[in-house]
Amino acid sequence: MPRYFLEVAYKGTNYSGFQIQENAHSVQAEVEKALGIFFRQRVELTGSSRTDAGVHALQNYFHFDFEGVIDPRKLYNINAILPRDVVLKSIFPVGKEDHCRFDALAREYRYYIYRRKDPFLDDRAYFFPYKVDRGQLEAAAAIISRYTDFTSFSKRNTQVKTFICAIRESRWTVENDCLVYQVIANRFLRGMVRGLVGTMLQVGRGKLTLEQFEEILHRKDNRHADFSVPGHGLFLFRVSFSDSILHATK
Enumerate the active-site residues.
52
Q: Where are the beta strands (DSSP E) in the chain?
A: 3-10, 46-47, 56-65, 86-94, 106-114, 126-127, 167-175, 178-185, 234-240
Burial of 176 (0-12, 13-18, 19+ CB in 10 A): exposed
Q: What is the 3-state secondary structure (H, E, C) of 181-231?
A: EEEEECCCCCCHHHHHHHHHHHHHCCCCCHHHHHHHHHHCCHHHCCCCCCH
